[in-house]
């Protein structure tokens, strides 16, 4: 799905782009022109990008690509990258003043893979600072707006990537998801986004937030595009100790518009409870009906353990964040202060006060708290045990069912400023998405329809390495929705 | 041994025999490189970088654990140890811990040392694998005068093995003997080349008469260890004697001044906020792997000493000194096989070579190359031919080690034994003529001939065979007889 | 925990985490931290048997190990082409003593 800012040419899929470029290489330049025209018209309001590459650079790269032997599976697609993915020679800010001028000397593994497969990096997208947030309002630079309604947020933390894709300012994008940061903005912007099984996509080059929860994933207007990009970026990486060994088969083959299996589908009752907006439930139930009419069985199951998933998630995520962000001291890179005549503790304290925004500071302090002497057992260790229980419950569930389905978010995209002042309110947006990261499972959000003119996302998730089935069901939902 | 002295050691040994660092592919040989040229995103801790364990490091760690008779766990777990310091790139160190269900690689080992014919067992509490930090240098000559510091990260990330003992040492000498033996074990296992600067560092915990523990950091050699501990024990006893109490603190050993001083670095003990490193999932240590390492263990110092004592008939003491320095021991065995006369060679190496390199502060390796096998063979040859006496032999060794003079050279200078009686008689007569009073003394008291012997040796520049000189002088004296 | 003791906690945390805290904002920060920790305390309602092993990672594959083979290193100059943080290739840092 794509938003009103799009034009016909700028809204095409990878498949279409590739076909047309193979037919007529010049089309790639027409396409690039059109995308930059959309950017010119709308980016000043949407503000999806932090760094946009000049058109001339992108055109040069397109020329080089066409001259080379293979245009690859991406065929010249313009790929927007969330600004916490390291790009050699292109500034990588993580949406933070701390890294405002940091230019990495290396490419993340996924960036290398994109480039090798014929993708062209068009720019780095806006995000909540260090991926901490659910609305992209925590960016140290500026908020990104929801293309469907400029008074509302696009979700976060991969808001910029979602909007770039939704408003056709890129062909596809990469985001990152620690507790829902791909799926939530996908839901709020009417796009498709997948968080892969933990370990399927290399994290080498992804600026870490919650290392045991983070994954990079593709975002696109169409399920098939997500599958194509997932094929490109997934796979074993010897530079990442948590990278799964190579698997065979192509995800793209699963993104077909007919059911490959009679999936036994489950809905966890705690995910469709009272807190979910009525309009969203209407869209969700309609999709369920359509799936049932196709012969799929949908059952409901209780999982009371889920009520502990938010505290479990935030204890672990904040603890890991406080550790991962310890390195930002301004010495080698980042906010720079004069060092002569000063003690290191004084310099570090100031650098970190100046470089980090409020939400980041909060999370670091809390993370430090739950790891500290005397509190470790009651918080971090306990949360890790609850995580084990949640994991086992979910795995038991998927011993019986093939896939699970839920609304991605309990509420429609909030207005700018509505949730940001209240941390607890902000965290509750993630209630349906965090259990999945705790268990390392794959999950996708696909647009299921509209309510009050705003997109409604449907979350499909399953056991480890079930991306194929997830993409299949998502594609079918895509078809049924538009029917 | 003073009563009430309790000492424990924490030794850090670099795995210098690895080609690369612990978690990245930078060379581990940092000493020859200009500053900050032996680094990469991983050991610099750049955003997005990830650690990947060096398999060979694991094998070396297992080898050491076996040699120290430890129990080895079946899983390798890494933790993050957090503190802020400029030489620590990520502001946390990847290390190991032993609480909350987390385990080091091995625990509960023991090492035996021999002190004054008594066998003492030193218990090993644990063995850890961890990464080394960068190095801090100071731009001004005086550490205290510098307005800022300079950091070289070449060493950051080099593999370290930490060996922690129980406080089983009852004297500084015991600690030194242990450290020498540990160094020898590390050399024989081809883990650490202890002659490299900074390759083996020790911290010691000392308490006297049941008082608080004082930690002394940064001791670079067994000799320094004994010196530092002797100083510290004396210092503590002095305080107690004058009625003071010992407060728990950390001190540094200042080698140049021969004192320990209070550490200026503020220690936030216990607030390291250890937690398992999410980037390094548990690594299984299989029984097969342990067996594989065990089977390929080289000869360890204790068994080597026993074998050498027996095989070369050099006696236990000499054998035990030889194995303390693996390179020396290798040199001994090789040279004995080539030149023969192992008893002689062992004596020259143990009694002479070691003495001279120590007194002159020459590295052992240099001493060995100056007293190489070729030269040793010549010396054995000259001695067994009677060309030089035992006294001259020792001079030859001294001149070779201190001034790198070839034995052949000395022979051609005429520094050989005068064994011909005629020549000696001539010199004796000269000496008698010049020293009539001494002759008279010697006739009265036979013991007083030493002066006359000395004069003859002086005149012959030491070349005369002392035995023969003695004989001839006695003969002459008896010829003169009491007047 | 009272407001006053939360402020003490924040002071301690700001030392541990080396972040200077703007004391004007310390009060609202106190409030936020208090509410968030309260949310965390919900897990204490759940009784977890001792034998449950904590889950620290959801990676269940074979952990990558690496051969002891070198590859090219970089120089720190790549991070700082202008060289304003370096002196003779060393990284300038504040005093460490």
- Domains of chain B, first to last: 9-194+268-292 (no CATH), 299-412 (no CATH), 421-480 (1.10.10.410)
Q: Is residue A281 part of a domain?
A: no
pLDDT at B418: 74
Residue C72 neighbours by CB distance under 10 Å: 8
What's the confidence (pLDDT) of residue B245? Answer: 86
Residue A425 pLDDT class (50, 70, 90 cuts): confident
Is the Cβ pair A362, C10 closer than 8 Å? no
- pLDDT tens-digit map of B393-412: 888 999 999 999 888 888 88
Residue B431 near residue B449, CB atoms below 8 Å: no
Q: Which burial class, exposed, middle or buried, applies to C28 when counting CB atoms under 10 A from its CB (0-12, 13-18, 19+)?
A: exposed
B: neighbours with 3+ CB pairs under 8 Å?
A, C
Of the candidates B320, B307, B405, B316, the residue with the CA atom closest to the CA atom of residue B356? B405
> Tell me: the pLDDT tens digits for A240-268?
999 999 777 899 999 999 999 999 999 99
pLDDT at position B268 is: 53
Tell whether the model's pLDDT for residue B308 goes beyond 80: yes
Q: Is the pLDDT reported for residue C82 higher than 60? A: yes
**Residue A156 maps to a domain:** yes
- Residue C4 has what pLDDT? 66
Is residue B481 over pLDDT 70? Answer: no
- Cα-based distances in Å from B392 to A221, B389, B424, B449, B451: 93, 5, 16, 21, 19
Structural domain contains residue A396:
no
Mean pLDDT, to the nearest integer, of B243-262? Answer: 88
The mean per-residue pLDDT over the stretch A198-221 comes to 98
Average pLDDT in chain A: 96
Range in A339-343, A360-364, B127-131 the model is least confident about: A339-343
Contact at CB, C66 and B151, closer than 8 angstroms:
no
- pLDDT at B325 exceeding the cut of 90: yes
**pLDDT tens across A139-156, in order?**
999 999 999 999 999 999
* pLDDT band at residue A237 under the 50/70/90 scheme: very high
Q: Which residue of B has its CA nearest to A373?
A: B271
- Is the Cβ of A110 closer than 8 Å to some Cβ of chain C? no
pLDDT tens-digit map of B358-369: 899 889 999 999
Q: What CATH number should be reported for the domain holding residue A52? A: 3.90.1300.10
With a cut of 80, say whether residue A415 has pLDDT above it: yes
Closest CA to A16 of A259, A256, A228: A228
Q: Which pLDDT tens digit goes with each residue over B85-104?
A: 999 999 999 999 998 889 99
Give the model's pLDDT for residue A166: 98
User: Residue B265: pLDDT above 90?
Assistant: no
Token pair of B225, please? Answer: 């260890």
Q: Rounded to a whole number, what is the distance in Å from the CA of C58 to chain B's nearest CA?
A: 9
Q: Is residue A340 part of a domain?
A: no
Rounded mean pLDDT of chain B? 91
Could you tell me the pLDDT band of residue B391, with boundaries at 50, 70 and 90?
Answer: confident
Domain segments of chain C: what residues? 3-44
Contact at CB, C73 and B38, closer than 8 angstroms: yes
Q: Is A283 inside any structural domain?
A: no
Choose from A88, A241, A372 for mutation: most chain B CBs within 10 A: A241
Q: Rounded to an integer, what distance in angstroms lies between the CA atom of residue A340 and that of residue A310?
A: 45
CA atoms within 13 A on the CB side of A66: 17
CA-based Rg of chain B, rounded to a whole angstrom?
Answer: 28
Residues of A classed as catalytic? 82, 157, 181
Q: Higher pLDDT residue, A445 or A340? A: A445
Contact B278 C95 (CB under 8 A): no
Confidence bin at B266 (pLDDT 50/70/90): low
Domain count of the fold of chain A: 1
pLDDT band for B141, please (50, 70, 90 cuts).
Answer: low
* Residue whose C-alpha is closest to residue B159's, from B28, B70, B32: B28
CA distance A323 to A210: 9
Q: With beta carbons under 8 A apart, name residues in chain B contacting A380.
A: 275
């Amino acid at each position: 799905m794509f938003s009103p800012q799009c034009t016909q040419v700028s809204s095409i899929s990878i498949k279409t782009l590739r076909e047309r470029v193979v037919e007529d290489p010049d089309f790639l330049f027409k396409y690039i022109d059109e995308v930059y025209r959309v950017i010119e018209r709308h980016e000043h309001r949407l503000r999806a990008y932090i760094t946009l590459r000049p058109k001339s650079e992108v055109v040069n790269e397109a020329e080089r690509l066409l001259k080379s032997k293979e245009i690859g599976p991406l065929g010249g697609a313009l790929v927007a990258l969330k600004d916490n993915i390291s790009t050699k020679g292109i500034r990588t800010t993580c949406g933070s003043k701390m890294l405002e001028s940091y230019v990495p000397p290396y490419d993340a593994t996924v960036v290398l893979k994109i480039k090798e497969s014929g993708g062209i990096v068009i720019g780095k997208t806006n995000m909540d600072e260090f991926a901490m947030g659910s609305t992209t309002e925590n960016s140290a630079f500026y908020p990104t707006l929801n293309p469907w309604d400029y008074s509302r947020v696009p979700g976060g933390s991969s808001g910029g990537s979602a909007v770039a894709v939704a408003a056709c300012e890129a062909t596809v994008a990469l985001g990152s998801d620690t507790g829902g940061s791909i799926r939530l903005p996908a839901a709020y912007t009417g796009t498709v986004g997948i968080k892969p099984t933990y370990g399927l996509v290399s994290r080498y080059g992804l600026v870490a937030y919650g290392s045991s929860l983070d994954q990079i994933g593709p975002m696109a207007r169409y399920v098939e595009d997500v599958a194509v990009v997932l094929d490109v970026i997934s796979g074993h990486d010897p530079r990442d100790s948590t990278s799964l060994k190579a698997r065979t088969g192509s995800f793209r083959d699963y993104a077909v518009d007919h059911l490959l299996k009679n999936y036994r589908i489950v809905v966890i009752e705690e995910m469709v409870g009272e807190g979910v907006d009525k309009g969203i439930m209407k869209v969700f139930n309609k999709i369920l009906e359509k799936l049932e009419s196709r012969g799929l069985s949908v059952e409901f199951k209780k999982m009371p353990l889920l009520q502990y998933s938010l505290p479990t998630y935030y204890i672990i995520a904040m603890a890991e964040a406080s550790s991962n962000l310890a390195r930002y001291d301004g010495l080698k890179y980042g906010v720079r202060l004069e060092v002569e005549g000063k003690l290191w503790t004084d310099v570090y304290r100031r650098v970190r006060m100046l470089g980090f925004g409020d939400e980041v500071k909060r999370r670091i302090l809390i993370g430090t708290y739950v790891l500290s002497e005397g509190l470790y057992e009651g918080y971090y260790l306990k949360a890790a045990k609850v995580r084990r229980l949640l994991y086992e419950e979910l795995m038991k569930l998927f011993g019986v069912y093939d896939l699970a389905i839920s609304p991605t978010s309990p509420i429609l995209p909030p207005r700018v400023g509505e949730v940001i002042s209240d941390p607890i309110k902000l965290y509750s947006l993630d209630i349906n998405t965090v259990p999945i990261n705790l268990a390392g499972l794959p999950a996708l959000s696909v647009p299921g329809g509209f309510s009050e003119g705003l997109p409604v996302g449907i979350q499909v998730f399953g056991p480890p390495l079930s991306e194929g089935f997830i993409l299949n069901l998502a594609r079918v939902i895509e078809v049924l929705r538009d029917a | 041994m003073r009563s009430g002295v309790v000492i424990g050691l924490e030794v850090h040994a670099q795995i210098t025999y690895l080609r690369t660092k612990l978690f990245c592919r930078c060379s581990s040989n940092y000493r020859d490189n200009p500053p900050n040229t032996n680094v990469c995103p991983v050991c610099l801790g750049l955003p997005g970088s990830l650690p990947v364990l060096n398999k060979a490091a694991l094998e070396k760690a297992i080898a050491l654990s076996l040699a120290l008779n430890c129990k080895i766990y079946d899983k390798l777990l890494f933790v993050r140890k957090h503190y802020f310091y400029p030489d620590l790139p990520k502001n946390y160190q990847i290390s190991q811990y032993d609480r909350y269900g987390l385990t080091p690689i091995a625990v509960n080992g023991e090492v035996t040392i021999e002190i004054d014919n008594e066998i003492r067992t030193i218990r090993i509490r644990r063995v850890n694998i961890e990464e080394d930090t960068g190095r801090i240098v100071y731009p001004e000559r005086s550490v205290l005068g510098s307005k800022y510091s300079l950091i070289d990260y070449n060493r950051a990330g080099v593999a370290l093995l930490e060996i922690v003992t129980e406080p089983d040492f009852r004297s500084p000498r015991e600690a030194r003997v242990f450290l020498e033996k540990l160094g020898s074990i590390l050399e024989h296992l081809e883990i650490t080349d202890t002659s490299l600067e900074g390759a083996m560092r020790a911290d010691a915990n000392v308490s006297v008469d049941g008082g608080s523990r004082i930690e002394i950091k940064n001791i670079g050699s067994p000799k320094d260890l004994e010196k530092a501990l002797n100083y510290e024990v004396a210092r503590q006893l002095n305080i107690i004697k004058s009625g003071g109490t010992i407060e728990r603190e950390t001190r540094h050993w200042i080698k140049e001044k021969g004192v320990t001083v209070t550490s200026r670095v503020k220690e936030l003990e216990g607030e390291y906020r250890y937690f398992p490193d999410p980037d390094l999932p548990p690594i299984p240590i299989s029984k097969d792997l342990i067996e594989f390492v065990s089977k390929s263990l080289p000869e360890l110092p204790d068994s080597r000493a026993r074998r050498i004592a027996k095989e070369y008939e050099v006696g236990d003491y000499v054998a035990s000194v030889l194995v303390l320095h693996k390179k020396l021991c290798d040199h001994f065995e090789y040279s004995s096989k080539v030149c023969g006369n192992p008893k002689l060679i062992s004596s020259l190496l143990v009694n002479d070579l070691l003495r001279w390199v120590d007194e002159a502060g020459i590295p052992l390796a240099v001493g060995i190359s100056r007293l190489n096998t070729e030269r040793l063979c010549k010396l054995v040859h000259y001695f067994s031919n009677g060309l030089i006496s035992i006294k001259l032999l020792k001079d030859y060794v001294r001149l070779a080690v201190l001034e790198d003079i070839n034995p052949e050279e000395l022979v051609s200078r005429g520094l050989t034994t005068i064994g011909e009686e005629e020549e000696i008689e001539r010199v004796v007569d000269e000496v008698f003529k010049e020293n009539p009073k001494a002759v008279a003394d010697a006739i009265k008291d036979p013991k007083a001939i030493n002066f006359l012997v000395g004069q003859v040796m002086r005149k012959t520049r030491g070349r005369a065979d002392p035995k023969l000189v003695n004989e001839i002088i006695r003969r002459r004296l008896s010829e003169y007889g009491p007047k | 925990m009272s407001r006053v003791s939360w402020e003490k906690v924040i002071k301690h945390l700001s030392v541990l985490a080396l972040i200077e805290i703007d004391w004007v904002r310390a009060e609202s920060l106190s409030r936020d931290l208090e509410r968030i920790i309260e949310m965390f305390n919900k897990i204490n309602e759940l009784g977890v048997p001792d034998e449950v092993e904590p889950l620290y990672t959801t990676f269940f594959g074979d952990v990558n190990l690496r051969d002891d083979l070198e590859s090219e290193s970089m120089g720190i100059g790549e991070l700082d082409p202008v060289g304003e943080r370096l002196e003779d290739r060393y990284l300038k840092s504040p005093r460490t003593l």
